[in-house]
Structure 1
Amino acid sequence: RVRVFKCGPDFLDPYWHSLASGAPVYQLDLWMTGEADCRARLSAAALGADLIIVEGVMGLFDGAPSAADLARRFGLHVLAVVDASAMAGTFGALAFGLQHYQSGLPWAGVLANRVAGAGHAEMLRQSLNQPHDWLGAMLHNPALVLPERHLGLTVASEVPDALARLDAAADALAQTPLGQMTLADLQRWNTEFAPAADASTLAVPKLLQGKVIAVARDAAFCFIYAANLDCLQALGAELRFFSPLANAAVPDCDAVWLPGGYPELHAGAIAAATHTRNSLARHIAAGRPVWAECGGMMALLETLVAVDGQQQPQWGLLPGVVTMHARLAALGLQQLALQSGTLRGHTFHFSTTATTMSAATRTAPPDTPPSPAAGESLWQHGPVRASYFHAWFPSAPAAVVELFGAVAQAA
């Protein structure tokens, strides 16, 4: 029984983790999700799993907080996977540096990736100061490569041979010392998690009891944290999913969530989704709330301009034009202060938006007040709130209630 977590605000890697593990995958971030949330999720997973794997984010020490920070906080032993395709002795130096760059880092060892053959693997093994750090070599194999695009890995459900690729990787790993370890062997990296806080301190009042929230979910709208869905349900909401790419009408509901994703890859299909567009227009005309994040906001605008300059009409329910760029436009942790609380989250996009709407407020980096020259705009147009900001709902459930239409009353 394996549970997998992802360090940092990543939507795409968890699709692969979930397919491989057969279990939901949640994010861990000492700032965005918070230490208490991380501890509660790790503790709960430990009660029902034999093995917990946490994939890092970027490099081991990149970002604040970093994967190394998370490992130290919870005593997670670090297994470094190093692309060794163009090195020999330097492999040992990298392994030594990763282990000792910051003090107090729990260390498991190193796995070499993209190795040319048995002779290359032996050179890599001999480069290590500590022989027990060697956990094996994964040979270079195109069958193990996962497809990717501008925001990261391609979603697993869009890759027809996704399971075959995972099986090939599992077979390759089984040939390494790491892959041949038994559960008893893995106990050398055993970690005991302190019990999570009393459940009553983590519970949220059912402020959305009786409310129905319609959630767009398909290949164009797929940036959805499992924890966000859990949070809405914990607040008492009933969730109804619909697919704009299938031209499905918005279900009868009290509020709509249009999450991020890849509208730029499906702009023509979105434009042709007239049933979705018209039912959404009726929902808005009735004064019912819409929360549109990043790609969800892009679909609501009038026009999408591709990197090559081609223009595609969108739903036209918000004034403005979104333009795709070849280079990253924004990336980083952000927070959004609302009347009922401050949501934490992040921003990550390759587009910019030109609109006549004025920003109702703006997001800000961690521990920084909002500024007109920084952060992401939160636009409000009638009952529609829209932003490039991706919110982590459990960080401020009362603010989530506000987003979906009911201002939480102070206790």
Structure 2
Amino acid sequence: MPNIPSCPALLIAAPASGHGKTSVTAGIARYHSRRGLRVRCFKTGPDFIDPGLLEQASGQPVYNLDTWIMGEDHCRQLLHEAAAGNDLILVEGVMGLFDGTPSSADLAECFGLPVLPVIDASKMAQTFAAVLHGLATFRDSLKIAGAVANNVASERHAELLRAALPSHIKLATLPRNPDATLPSRHLGLRIAAEIDGLDQRLDRLAEAVGASCLAELPAPAEFVQPATQPLAEALLHEKTIAVARDNAFCFLYRANIDCLRKLGAQVVFFSPLKDNALPAADAIYLPGGYPELFAAELSRNESLRQQMRSHVEKNKPLLAECGGLMTLGDALEDLNGNRHAMLGLLPGIAHMGQRLHAIGSQQALIAGASIRGHTFHYSRFDTTLTPCFQAQTQDGRTGEALYRHGSLLASYVHWYFPSNPALVASWFLSEG
């Protein structure tokens, strides 16, 4: 008989962004973790910010689930492994329940996850029931496991919400609480390291969960293991890769680091904000993040900037994504029009904008090999360089440019390394 572990599980969804999916998921995770249960959280779609908050809430690593970028088998394997060693699986959805391809609803159907809709009830009463009815019945293949009314103003408000619902629907009403709010900015919620009193906020959320029906564990779901995946060759054996990681470079898939290590690489981290010296390394990985918020500090760290330039002058590989690309140019222009000197390794200037410049999943076909990822940025990079490759969107439109300049490879795409480990290994072995 095949090994099919089961584990209580929920996919936390909403009608749209901003209803409190992350707060509710984090609150449930923190509540059950404090009870001594092992809780594993996942985030639907490509996201770097929410996983950090959920890691803080659950005390365990958080991975993404996206069947287009990652592949169904890879997602299924992650869920199978989680179910085998944990007491509760929580999957936070993305945007609205039916938004995107794949959507949170698609993920719930694919893996048999019960859906828990979260609806901000702060500006409605009986209409709450109509919104929930639409979410629950728009696709009859979904399993709805109750609902959450978020930001409830009073017990009377809660009574109005419950009275409009069928009696068989379990409703958790979570009160409005400024002390439990998770602050946000232009790319979403703030990262965990920047939120003052985050543990206290998570504890307040957990207390609200404990006073509701969310204190009960959901029904178990079964998680079938996919066909055995081929093991990655140690293509990066004895190679050391220096990975930028701090508040300016924080958009980093945990799965990407796992992938590098499975390829045999030794991974060392450094902070372009705080470190004066670059670790001894064969290659550098500059992921995305918020360099625009720390441009002045990055510009002042001349010692590290010079060492990174020396690394490239020696024709050693450097891979940059999004925020990493922005720091490779001659300068970064912030929203106030101030220009800050950057690494000067690519001809060009990054300009921050007020509006979203690009968003969505993309793939690139490079020498017959496909790799996938996503893009999400408010800046543009003006350069005289001609792209060496051009990514494409899911529906085949022209996507982000990829620039090759000596031993550098840079793009606005955040690549998901496990989607093509061999190609990624070649990037860190390439010398221009």
Report the TM-score, using the length of structure 2 for normalisation: 0.89
Which of residues 400, 412, 421 is equivalent to 1:397? Answer: 421
In structure 2, the CA distance between the partners of 1:348 and 1:250, relative to structure 1 (3 Å rule), is same
Matching residue of 1:72: 109
Matching residue of 1:126: 163
Q: Which of 1 and 2 has higher RCO (CA within 8 Å, sep 6+)?
A: 2
Q: C-alpha deviations, 1:126-183, integer Å up to 9, x for none?
A: 111x32323310011111211111111111111120000000000111111222x1x4
Which of residues 364, 388, 410 is equivalent to 1:386? Answer: 410
Q: How far has the Cα of 1:26 moved from its partner?
A: 0.2
Is 2:24 the counterpart of 1:24? no
Structure 1: distance between partners of 2:156 and 2:140: 33
Structure 1: distance between partners of 2:43 and 2:249: 20
Structure 2: distance between partners of 1:283 and 1:315: 12
Asked whether the equivalents of residues 317 and 430 of structure 2 are also in contact (C-alpha less than 8 Å), the reply is no
Structure 2: distance between partners of 1:202 and 1:131: 49
Q: How far has the Cα of 1:274 moved from its partner?
A: 1.2
The residue type paired with residue 211 of structure 2 is Q
Structure 2: distance between partners of 1:202 and 1:250: 34
Q: How far has the Cα of 1:406 moved from its partner?
A: 4.7
The residue type paired with residue 146 of structure 1 is L
Equivalence map 1:331-346=2 (5 Å): 331-339=359-367, 341-346=369-374
Equivalence map 1:185-334=2 (5 Å): 186=218, 189-198=219-228, 201-334=229-362
Structure 2: distance between partners of 1:303 and 1:60: 40
Which of residues 166, 186, 193 is equivalent to 1:157? Answer: 193
Structure 2: distance between partners of 1:244 and 1:16: 23
Structure 1: distance between partners of 2:344 and 2:430: 26
Asked whether the equivalents of residues 340 and 402 of structure 1 are also in contact (C-alpha less than 8 Å), the reply is no
Instruction: Classify the secondary structure of the residue corresponding to 2:273.
Output: helix
Which of residues 148, 166, 170 is equivalent to 2:202? Answer: 166
The residue type paired with residue 363 of structure 1 is A
How many residues in Structure 1 have an aligned counterpart in Structure 2? 394
The residue type paired with residue 238 of structure 1 is Q
Q: How far has the Cα of 1:318 moved from its partner?
A: 1.3
The residue type paired with residue 262 of structure 1 is Y
Asked whether the equivalents of residues 111 and 137 of structure 1 are also in contact (C-alpha less than 8 Å), the reply is yes
Structure 1: distance between partners of 2:395 and 2:426: 22
Asked whether the equivalents of residues 305 and 323 of structure 1 are also in contact (C-alpha less than 8 Å), the reply is yes
Structure 2: distance between partners of 1:117 and 1:265: 39
Q: Which runs of 5+ in 2 are unaligned?
A: 1-37
Asked whether the equivalents of residues 340 and 398 of structure 1 are also in contact (C-alpha less than 8 Å), the reply is no
Structure 1 residues 116-125 or 312-321, which shifts more? Answer: 312-321
Matching residue of 1:41: 78
Q: How far has the Cα of 1:367 moved from its partner?
A: 5.6
Structure 1 residues 132-141 or 345-354, which shifts more? Answer: 132-141
Structure 2: distance between partners of 1:248 and 1:151: 28
Asked whether the equivalents of residues 407 and 430 of structure 2 are also in contact (C-alpha less than 8 Å), the reply is no
Instruction: Classify the secondary structure of the residue corresponding to 1:17.
Output: helix
Asked whether the equivalents of residues 340 and 399 of structure 1 are also in contact (C-alpha less than 8 Å), the reply is no
Instruction: Classify the secondary structure of the residue corresponding to 2:214.
Output: coil
Structure 1: distance between partners of 2:401 and 2:80: 37
Q: How far has the Cα of 1:340 moved from its partner?
A: 6.2
Is 2:145 the counterpart of 1:117? no
Asked whether the equivalents of residues 300 and 314 of structure 1 are also in contact (C-alpha less than 8 Å), the reply is yes
Structure 1: distance between partners of 2:205 and 2:192: 15
Asked whether the equivalents of residues 301 and 317 of structure 1 are also in contact (C-alpha less than 8 Å), the reply is yes
Structure 1: distance between partners of 2:303 and 2:196: 29
Q: Report sequence identity in percent.
A: 48
Structure 2: distance between partners of 1:367 and 1:205: 32
Structure 2: distance between partners of 1:384 and 1:194: 41
In structure 2, the CA distance between the partners of 1:406 and 1:318, relative to structure 1 (3 Å rule), is closer
Structure 2: distance between partners of 1:394 and 1:288: 23
RMSD, aligned CA: 1.3
The residue type paired with residue 111 of structure 2 is F
Structure 2: distance between partners of 1:63 and 1:347: 14
Which of residues 127, 138, 163 is equivalent to 1:101? Answer: 138
Q: How far has the Cα of 1:308 moved from its partner?
A: 2.1
Structure 2: distance between partners of 1:351 and 1:330: 9
Asked whether the equivalents of residues 341 and 398 of structure 1 are also in contact (C-alpha less than 8 Å), the reply is no
Structure 2: distance between partners of 1:328 and 1:86: 27
Q: How far has the Cα of 1:399 moved from its partner?
A: 1.0
Asked whether the equivalents of residues 242 and 248 of structure 1 are also in contact (C-alpha less than 8 Å), the reply is no
Q: Which runs of 5+ in 1 are unaligned?
A: none
